[in-house]
Amino acid sequence: MIYKSGDYKNSNYRCKCLVIGTGAGGSVAGALLSQHGHDVIMMEEGEFYTRESFVPDVGDSLSRLYRNHGISPFFGRPTVNFLEACCVGGGTVVNGALIWRPEPWILDRWAVSHGLTGYGYADLERHFITVEKDLHVETPKWDPDKNLNSLLIKQGAERLNWKTVPVPRAAINCTNLNRCMAGCPAGAKQSALETYLPRALKNGVRLFSGSRAIKIIHSQGVAREVIAEVREGCRKKRITIHFDELIVAGGSVQTPFLLRRSGISKLAGRGIQFNYSLKVAAKFDRAVHAEASTPFTLQVQEFLRDGLIINVSQFNTMYLALALTQFPDEVLNNVIEQRDRFALYIGFMASLSLARLVNCFNKSPFVWYAQKQADFERIKMALRRLATLLFESGAVELYLPVAVERPVCSLSELDELLNQIRPEGLDLVTVHVMSSCPMGTDPQRSVVDLDGRVRGMKNIVLCDASIIPSCFGESPQGTIMAFAHEVMTRQIKRVGC
């Protein structure tokens, strides 16, 4: 049953397991716990939207499906905007549905650096298989004639001898609407709304939408209840939920914020890691009709070990305009007029510099970020690699995420620009945030142990992007869901819940 504003008649509720958050991690937790016959409440701050309600308008979607209308900055020099979902289904509702298994060497690295025994490739493989089956993950076939934006960079990469790989996605019968970020109205994208949440609801889960956990009450290492705020029309009301076991999956910023606000972990949120999304709009010498193309067809993984991955991005006119907000109106208007010749590409680059939660007394988290010089140099290197590929692929103009008034038309122009820019001139965004409460064996560096249990607490488990030991460059949902399966398997074994 889904509770919405007006359905919260009582002030007190009770369940065996309370799950906070319904995104990539929380939805898995709710489905698995309820499958084992447990009485589960899932709490979600965002509202419940069905696929019929998803609209193409980006502004409308940002205000309904994202936290703070899509503006959750990591303040610093430069400021990085975190696009964070806030709706039932969390990030899975608005994301691109790229589902990757992490490379085995990444899991091996975590075994050494964080002591993650039991999380090697052989240990997690069964979870990757389950997740891929549950989400109907496939590598879609794309027609080169109808996907010039992909074909051109595939050919460019081949000429440069750079490695490309096709992209596995969680989608059934995708009709190439290119509206993933605003929720899939066709239900093709296999978000939590189409997969784990219906399963959880069928198993009897009570899903409290529009309900924000504001404090965990605990004593002697045991969490006793959660105080939450729910909407009652235009007023807010507090409810209390009592439980035996608490699973927190609010995402990489909200999870540590809740723990710190509740006086549970001083280490939580001290080292938030993320991938930069470096979006570049490319104009070609011919029409590429990117709007009708298959979204996210291939990746250039030549620089994976350096933490850089280049993607063909989905495209529509609004996303194009959104990527060009730093350019003057006349440039923007010109671009929109010639949009058939444009395509969008993204470089994901793992940041080496950490962001951190600095104030947990306010109602909302304040995240501070100090970029290291090394990252600034790596971003410039990433932009040069993107530009090298795109010019090689036939692009004639590149619109970079940098405060400039005009596009660059050659590598020499780009080099001139990169020599002049300063960190605050970068227009930076992230959609992949993780590792704020890392798992590990060292109590000085890890917030949760290998069972996902918060140190010092008997009955709080974390089950979201926050526990991923470190940022690894790639899209993280597949890894988050595999970790969530392992953590929940251990939880069910450990306490029968």
Residue 159 C-beta: closest distance to ligand FAD, Å: 27
Does the CA dihedral 75-76-79-85 come out positive or negative? negative
Residue 94 C-beta: closest distance to ligand FAD, Å: 5
Under 8 Å between Cβ of 255 and 466: yes
* Cβ closest to ligand FAD, residue 147 vs residue 475: 475
Residue 441 C-beta: closest distance to ligand FAD, Å: 22
- 3-class SS at 194? coil
- How would you class 405 by CB atoms within 10 Å of its CB: exposed for 0-12, middle for 13-18, buried for 19 or more? exposed
- Enclosing H/E stretch for 418: helix 411-420
Residue 22 C-beta: closest distance to ligand FAD, Å: 6
Tokens of 458: 């008997």
Residue 156 C-beta: closest distance to ligand FAD, Å: 23
**Extended strands (E) in 23-163:** 40-43, 72-77, 80-82, 137-138
- Enclosing H/E stretch for 130: helix 121-134
Residue 220 C-beta: closest distance to ligand FAD, Å: 23
* Cβ closest to ligand FAD, residue 375 vs residue 464: 464
Tokens of 91: 């990030």
Under 8 Å between Cβ of 49 and 64: yes
- 3-class SS at 330? helix
Alpha helices, H only, 236-372 = 254-261, 317-322, 329-337
Residue 360 C-beta: closest distance to ligand FAD, Å: 12
C-alpha distances out from residue 372 to 249, 375, 379, 441, Å: 29, 5, 11, 27
* Cβ closest to ligand FAD, residue 166 vs residue 425: 166
Residues in Cβ contact with 265 at an 8 Å cutoff, skipping those fewer than 6 apart: 256, 259, 437, 447, 454, 455, 456
The whole-angstrom separation of Cα 298 and Cα 286 is 21
Residue 458 C-beta: closest distance to ligand FAD, Å: 21
* Cβ closest to ligand FAD, residue 94 vs residue 304: 94
* Cβ closest to ligand FAD, residue 3 vs residue 284: 3
Report the residue number whose CB is nearest to ligand FAD: 23
DSSP code of 241?
Answer: E
* Cβ closest to ligand FAD, residue 371 vs residue 479: 479
* Cβ closest to ligand FAD, residue 309 vs residue 398: 309
Q: Can the peptide bond before residue 78 be classed as cis, meaning omega within 30 degrees of 0?
A: yes
- 3-class SS at 404? coil
Residue 481 C-beta: closest distance to ligand FAD, Å: 8
Q: Whose CA is closest to 422, among 385, 376, 370, 353?
A: 376
Count of beta carbons in the 10 Å neighbourhood of residue 325: 9
The whole-angstrom separation of Cα 143 and Cα 496 is 49
The whole-angstrom separation of Cα 119 and Cα 108 is 9
* Cβ closest to ligand FAD, residue 248 vs residue 414: 248
* Cβ closest to ligand FAD, residue 22 vs residue 371: 22
Chain contacts with ligand FAD (rule: CB under 6 A): 20-26, 43-46, 83, 85-87, 90-92, 94-98, 181, 212-213, 249-252, 254, 258, 431-432, 464-465, 475-477, 480
* Cβ closest to ligand FAD, residue 213 vs residue 414: 213
* Cβ closest to ligand FAD, residue 20 vs residue 207: 20
Beta bridge partners, 276, equal: 349
Residue 82 C-beta: closest distance to ligand FAD, Å: 8
Q: What is the greatest pairwise CA distance in the chain?
A: 68
Residue 80 C-beta: closest distance to ligand FAD, Å: 13
